[in-house]
Structure 1
Amino acid sequence: MDVEPVGQVRIAVPGGTLAALRFGTGPRIALAAHGITASGMSFRAVAAQLPTDWSLVALDLRGRGGSNQLPGPYGMDRHAADICAAAEQAGGGRPVVLIGQSMGAYAALRATATRPELFSRLVLVDGGLPLPVPPDADPDQLLATTLGPAIARLSDTFASEQAYLDFFRAHPALAGDWNEHMAAYVRYDATGPQGAVRSRTDAVAVAEDGRDLLVNAASFGPDLIGLTVPSVLLYAPRGMFGQEPGMLPEPLVQHWRAQAPALRTELVGGTNHYTILLTDGPAAAIAKWITAG
């Protein structure tokens, strides 16, 4: 499939219109939901691996990319409802394959749990498992620790688009694997005039979504256990800064694999939280599961 989007898709949702990028023109539809500070362009590498009889509709979730003007409330229930609206439109009455990465995996899981008839398969990429949050933890302190730097980055400005690209190229999880998929993702995210280039992602949306993931972490357990569509989790051995362990450590994966009968799991070796989606070999593994069956 061509790596460039063939056009934009607009989906009517509460508060306005949700934007999506469509890759390919085939009749078989996959719908994709991205990570917490990302956009639909993060699925460019996956689109490139799909056969020509497929189309990938990669959402810009509320508060990101072309949907960055959509108002809140945010949170996984809202994103799940938006995903379901997109599935109804894109599928034209037929179930679609749903893919979610990182935060998008939680939203995709919630959408599948809520409206399973809309989806023929669920592919979770390095996300979707309930994260262990201590019951007495302060969610705002946890949010500051885990997402504080990412939220702060959203208010930073850069001298040019090239400076913004250079910032990402130096990231420890990306530097060793930098490619055109990553560059296209950064260019799509960049907005603002020369001298004040910044991210299109809304920091308020990121903070609200991050807090929801922490406060309601346990709610995803019943969603996993109750899955009724074929589902797979692809996970990385390294995390957001290229370090071990990954976002989903092996004991956590083993626990939920035993609890969720419909969930299969596959470790994608040699990857981190970002390269599992943004590099060609791992993207081919994701495409294999999208087209399975």
Structure 2
Amino acid sequence: MQSNAGKAILSDPFSDHFEVGVNGGTLQVARAGPPPEASAAVVLAAHGVTASLMTWRSLARVLGDDVCLLAPDLRGRGHSAELPGPYGIAAHVTDLLGVLDATGVSSAVLVGHSMGAYVLARLAAEHPERARALVALDAGLPLPPVTDLEDTLEAAVANVIMRLSITFPSAARYLEGWRAHPAFADAWDEDIEAYARYDLALNGSVARCVCNPAAVRADTEELVSDPVTRTALERVQCPVYLLRAERGLFNEPDAALITAADLRAFAAAHPSVQIEAVPGVNHYTLVMGAGPGPRRVATAIEAATGTIRRMAG
């Protein structure tokens, strides 16, 4: 499709949007690719702590035509923002099992970005029969116990909730705020704009992020404090693929969420895990935008589905 100016307009990569009944209401799910029963492989994707299913638009464009991508809005986010508690990682695992059950998928390749990597690592660890492989994106490494839990919790939660409390005088100013984010300044495209617009809530002329702060708080606290969640990857039995972004949340060259030292230590202790450090991308552009990140993720998924076929054969 072309605009009047001749610039290409990206089509919506999601061919279907549907709801899945879960505790307290319904979970919004988007699908790209063929239905599960007509696909060569099914991918279940989980986004980050303040993100949404729109995280996966760019990836959906570069996955193979025979791959079914199921991308839910996690409880308290996106079009699932009105779902009530209880919140927390265990609630997400239950919700995602509900997505698999509702779509008739016995097992899937699990792909998690940021917090989503911990959610799906826990699903894979506790329900190994549902996990064909796990692809963890810039997160998921076992976290050490914190020495000062209260201070760590306060800092982690405050940083996340503060962003959600910011309001803007218009939708345009809300989008300008996202476009000025250092992670997107040189990568902004229609998929990233669609990601920003999707979480926009308007009350009169006041714009804010639709994420439920109570859900974000519960999930963040659990990521920091719960040993079952922090160490879930240690108990995953299926093949694991780990991709690390070279740059940080704000595109900083020396602030990767997974440090090079931590990556080396993890690789040495887990030789069976397929690890890739992706250059030229930050925490967000590893999965979003027109850069190399989404294609590297798609390649890892293709490797995971290839493992499935070899094992099945």
TM-score (norm: length of structure 2): 0.86
Letter matched to residue 188 of structure 1 = Y
In structure 2, the residue matched to 1:19 is 28
1:291 aligns with 302
Q: What is residue 248 of structure 2 aligned with on the other side?
A: 239
Is residue 2:48 matched to residue 1:35? yes
Partner of 1:85: 98
* Structure 1 ranges of 4+ moved more than 6 A: none
- The one of 90, 108, 111 aligned to 1:99: 111
Q: Kindly provide the amino acid, as one letter, of the partner of residue 174 in structure 1.
A: F
Residues 14-60 of structure 1, C-alpha deviation per residue, up to 9 Å, x if partnerless?
22211111223352321110000000001101001112212211110
1:260 aligned partner: 270
- Specify the SS of the correspondent of 2:247: coil
Offset from partner CA, 1:133-152 (integer Å, 9 cap, x none): 532x133x324433424312
| Structure 1 gap segments, 5+ residues each | none
Contact 1:159 1:194 in 2 (8 A): no
Would you say how many aligned residue pairs link Structure 1 and Structure 2? 289
Residue 155 (structure 1) shift: 2.4
User: Which amino acid letter does the alignment assign opposite residue 289 of structure 1?
Assistant: A
- Would the aligned equivalents of 1:228 and 1:262 in 2 still touch at CA under 8 Å? no
The question of whether the paired residues in 2 share the 8 Å contact of 1:130 and 1:217 is answered with no
Q: Is contact 1:225-1:261 (8 Å) kept?
A: no
- Percentage of pairs with the same residue: 37
Q: Map of 1:88-167 to 2, 5 A cutoff?
A: 88-90=101-103, 92-135=104-147, 137-139=148-150, 141-167=151-177
Give the unaligned 5+ runs of structure 2: 1-9, 307-313
Cα deviation for residue 235 of structure 1 reads 0.7
Matching residue's letter, 1:80: V
Question: 2: CA distance between counterparts of 1:43 and 1:191?
Answer: 20
Tell me how far 1:194 sits from its aligned partner.
Answer: 4.7
Paired residue for 1:61?
Answer: 74
The answer on whether the counterparts of 2:142 and 2:234 sit within 8 Å (CA) in structure 1 is: no
Q: Quote the offset at 1:192 in angstroms.
A: 1.6
Judging changes above 3 Å, is the alpha-carbon distance between structure 1 residues 80 and 242 closer, same or farther for their aligned structure 2 residues? same
**AA matched with 2:108:** V
Structure 1 counterpart of 2:4: none
Contact persistence 1:84–1:115 (CA under 8 A): no
Please give the secondary structure, in 2, of the residue aligned with 1:211.
helix
Amino acid at match of 1:234: L
SS in 2 for 1:275: coil
1-structure distance, mates of 2:238, 2:190: 34
Q: Identify which of 210, 224, 243 aligns with 2:233.
A: 224
Shift in Å, 1:3? 3.9
- The CA distance in 1 between the partners of 2:210 and 2:218, in whole Å, is 16
Classify the secondary structure of the residue corresponding to 1:85: helix
Per-residue deviation, residues 230-259 of structure 1 (Å, max 9, x unmatched): 110101122111122311112222222333
Q: Name the SS of the counterpart of 1:158 in structure 2.
A: coil
> Are the aligned partners of 2:143 and 2:230 in contact in 1 as well (CA < 8 Å)?
no
Q: Which residue of 2 aligns with 1:74?
A: 87
Tell me how far 1:177 sits from its aligned partner. 1.5
Question: AA paired with 1:49?
Answer: V
The CA RMSD over aligned residues, in Å, is 2.0
1:44 to 2:57 alignment: yes
- SS of structure 1 residue aligned to 2:286: helix
Are 1:212 and 2:222 counterparts?
Answer: yes
CA contact (8 A) 2:135 2:301 kept: yes
Q: Summarize the Cα distance change of 1:178–1:133 in structure 2 as closer, same or farther, 3 Å threshold.
A: farther
Q: CA deviation at 1:199?
A: 1.0
Q: What's the CA shift string for 1:74-132, capped at 9, x where partnerless?
A: 22121122122212333x24321110000010001000101111121111001111234
| C-alpha deviation, 1:193, in angstroms | 4.0
> Which stretch shows the higher mean deviation, 79-88 or 114-123?
79-88
Instruction: Give secondary structure in 2 for the equivalent of 1:10.
Output: strand
2:121 maps to amino acid = L
Say whether the 8 Å CA contact 2:223–2:230 is kept in structure 1: no
